[in-house]
């Protein structure tokens, strides 16, 4: 995976993943860096704006590990402490090519007891077009959620326990 190669070559203490469909607003990296420097969080993320074929606001929210068992609410565009990323083993290569590697990473960080810090500003933008991952993932949703539950049983067990209460 290209991201893991980049991580291996990098010597910077903070890493940010920016895909071709995405854009950053000018204060994004400084705001995310400030949030990380004033916390012990493993990563900082913000709200994003959707543009292109679809306009809107993303679904990012404050860090709640239990919420991850219901689905991913954090985009890949996050500033991550390199040492924490290395501790998790980097991005996993998942069975289906549906780009859930970031979701898997947030789950692994949560299982290790790390936190993310939410910056409630529109700092990043995601271009939605006909073949965007966000539009093509839905046929795989249930299979991937099942895989995530197998990969992260402690995190998903909390979800199941809450549903039983």
23: its two tokens: 């854009």
Task: Encode pLDDT of 21-60 as tens digits.
Answer: 899 999 999 999 999 999 999 999 999 999 999 999 999 9
Specify the pLDDT at position 135.
46
Give the CATH number of the domain where residue 143 resides: 3.90.550.10
Asked if residue 39 lies in contact with residue 116, where contact means CB atoms within 8 angstroms, the answer is no
Handedness of CA 136, 142, 143, 144 (dihedral sign): positive
The range of the structural domain enclosing residue 149 comes to 2-164
* Number of domain units in the chain: 1
What is d(CA 84, CA 81) in angstroms, rounded to the nearest whole number?
5
The DSSP result for the chain, as a single string, is -HHHHHHHH---SEEE---TTEEE-TTHHHHHHHHHHTS--SEEEEEEEEEESS-EE----S--HHHHTT---S-S-EEEEHHHHHHHTS----SSSS--HHHHHHHHHHHTT--EEEEEEEEEEEEE-TT-HHHH-GGGHHHHHHHHHHH-HHHHHHHHHHHH-
What is d(CA 54, CA 127) in angstroms, rounded to the nearest whole number?
8
Asked if residue 94 lies in contact with residue 86, where contact means CB atoms within 8 angstroms, the answer is no
Does residue 119 have a pLDDT over 90? yes
Question: Global pTM?
Answer: 0.89
Q: Which of 39-43, 95-99, 154-158, 159-163 has the lowest mean pLDDT?
A: 159-163
What is d(CA 20, CA 153) in angstroms, rounded to the nearest whole number?
33
Does residue 162 have a pLDDT over 60? no
Specify the pLDDT at position 161.
54
């Amino acid at each position: 995976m290209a991201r893991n190669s980049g991580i291996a070559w990098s010597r910077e203490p903070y890493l940010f993943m920016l895909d071709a469909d995405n854009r950053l607003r000018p204060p994004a990296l400084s705001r995310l860096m400030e949030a990380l420097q004033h916390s012990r969080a493993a990563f900082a993320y913000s709200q994003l704006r959707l543009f292109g074929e679809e306009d809107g606001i993303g679904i990012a929210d404050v860090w709640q590990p239990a919420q991850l068992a219901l689905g991913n609410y954090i985009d890949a565009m996050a500033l991550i402490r390199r040492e924490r990323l290395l501790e998790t083993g980097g991005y996993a290569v998942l069975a289906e090519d549906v780009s859930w590697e970031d979701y898997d990473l947030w789950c692994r960080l949560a299982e290790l007891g790390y936190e993310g810090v939410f910056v409630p500003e529109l700092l990043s933008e995601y271009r939605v077009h006909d073949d965007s991952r966000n539009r093509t993932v839905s046929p795989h949703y249930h299979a991937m959620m099942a895989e995530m539950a197998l990969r992260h049983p402690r995190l998903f067990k909390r979800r199941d326990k809450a549903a039983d209460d």
